[in-house]
Amino acid sequence: MVPDTVSRLAALGLDILLESGAGDTAFGGDSEYEAAGASIVAPEDVDDALADADVIATVRPLDPERGAKLKSGAVAMSFLQPANDTAAIEAIASAGATALSFDLVPRISRAQSMDALTSQALVTGYRAALVGAELLPKFFPLFMTAAGTIPPAKVLVLGAGVAGLQAIATAKRLGAVVSAYDVRAASADEVKSMGASFIELDLEALEAGGGYAREMSEDRAARQRELLTPYITESDVLITTAAVPGRQAPRLVTAEMLADMKPGSVVVDLAAETGGNVEGSVAGEEVVIDGVRIWGAKDVASSMPVHASRLYAMNVVALLGLAVQEGELVLDPEDEVFQGCAVVLNGEIKQGA
């Protein structure tokens, strides 16, 4: 939550309790939340407050011990992955409660304001371009000076979804020459509309439902790597963002391909936490392989806490707005949004676990 959104929740007729210090790292002190209408709960009282709450909004899933203590009919909302968070899911189910996951909000226009994957990917993509610019021992923009002309940096973005498009926009604003590739045919126009060039490869497109990509076969992956190698070799900064929901990140760049890059080049692997698009990248670390600096992303949204929190809080308000009528929790299980994002519904596990 940010203080602004507390008053929006109060306007829905809800009483808001906030764990003391929850806003500290986003520069929101307890007193600001109190002024907006929240009651502050001391750390030692959080378990009691959880057991009494109708709705619990967090970023990460509740730990299983806390999930098991929810009251029957309560709703916990957070990022939650059916394949990975089985203990939390089982605990919330055992309590007879409901778990809504921001990972699974359907991509329909009505739910855009609830799409926290998108809001956080915006933050991540923006940061990726800044990290690339900061680590590159060269300028991003073209400079024509009395001492000679400096050519602009070449930035290549692989995976042009929400994060990729934001990385493109940010790198363009910094003056780099940007190109991009994605397996979805629709992304070509989106990339061009950002002022970047789209790399056309002689490969089939891989679209799945909901605007997401499909997994590649190993043959196609090898061919894609081969065709992309010349583009990667000539780039100064490579930003990879490729993901397939519920799967390990696809391997787009091998150690051999890195060895062909110029020393001093920079690779930003936004998929480092889910297996890595780039061989050798380590989540949360910077490693140098053959003179190429590889930055492995870890929890990037937390490095821009003010706006990441603000956007996430707005997503929480929007999803709650759909579940609350006149101050009462009325969650319609037939609503397409809840059908998509309810992992547990009143104790019944709907997805995963």
In this structure, the dihedral spanned by the alpha carbons of residues 22, 48, 77 and 307, taken in order and rounded to 10 degrees, is -10
Q: Classify burial at 301, counting beta carbons within 10 Å of its beta carbon; exposed 0-12, middle 13-18, buried 19 or more.
A: buried
The single residue among 56, 123, 243, 314 that binds ligand NAD, judged by CB under 6 A, is 243
Alpha-carbon Rg for the chain in angstroms? 22
Q: Which of 114, 123, 157, 242 binds ligand NAD (CB under 6 A)?
A: 242
Does position 225 bind ligand NAD by CB under 6 A?
no
- Residue 290 region, left (φ>0) first, then alpha (ψ -120 to 50), else beta? left
Note whether 345 binds ligand NAD by CB under 6 A. no
Give the number of C-alpha atoms closer than 13 A to the C-alpha of residue 133, restricted to the C-beta side.
21
DSSP string, 251-297: --B-HHHHHTSPTT-EEEETTGGGT-SBTT--TT-EEEETTEEEEE-
**Distance of closest approach, residue 186 Cβ to ligand NAD, in angstroms:** 6
Q: Is the Cβ of residue 1 or residue 105 nearer to ligand NAD in the bound state?
A: 105
Q: Given candidates 92, 162, 297, 337, which one binds ligand NAD under the rule CB under 6 A?
A: 162
**From 137, 195, 211, 284, residue interacting with ligand NAD (rule: CB under 6 A):** 211
The region of 67-75, 205-213, 316-324, 337-345 touching ligand NAD under the rule CB under 6 A is: 205-213
Candidates 130, 212, 264, 299; binder of ligand NAD (CB under 6 A) is 212
Q: Which stretch binds ligand NAD (CB under 6 A): 16-24, 243-251, 305-313, 343-351?
A: 243-251
The Cβ of residue 62 has, within 10 Å, a number of other Cβ atoms equal to: 23
> What is the pairing mode between strands 292-296 and 266-269?
parallel
Q: Is 79 in the site for ligand NAD (CB under 6 A)?
A: no
By CB under 6 A, tell whether 118 contacts ligand NAD: yes
What sign does the CA torsion over 318, 319, 323, 328 have?
negative
Choose among 272, 215, 243, 240: nearest CA to 125.
240
Among 81, 241, 281, 351, the residue binding ligand NAD under the rule CB under 6 A is 241
Our CB check for ligand NAD shows the closer of 218 and 326 to be: 218
Q: Which is nearer to ligand NAD, 74 or 252 (CB)?
A: 252
Helices (H), the chain: 3-11, 30-35, 46-52, 64-67, 86-94, 116-135, 162-173, 187-193, 218-234, 255-259, 305-323, 336-341
Counting contacts by CB under 6 A, is residue 216 touching ligand NAD?
yes
Residue type, 70: L
- Taking the CB of residue 10, how many other CB atoms lie within 10 A of it? 14
Site string for ligand NAD, 170-199 (x = CB under 6 A): -----------xxxx--x------------
156 near ligand NAD, judged by CB under 6 A = no
Q: How far is CA 50 from the centre of its chain?
A: 26
- Least Å from the CB of residue 248 to ligand NAD: 11
The reply to whether 340 sits near ligand NAD by the rule CB under 6 A is no
Question: Which residues within the stretch 250-269 sit at the binding site for ligand NAD (CB under 6 A)?
Answer: 250, 252
Q: How far is the CB of 177 from ligand NAD (least distance, A)?
A: 20
Residues engaged in binding ligand NAD (CB under 6 A)? 107, 112, 115, 117-118, 121, 158-164, 181-184, 187, 211-213, 216, 241-245, 250, 252
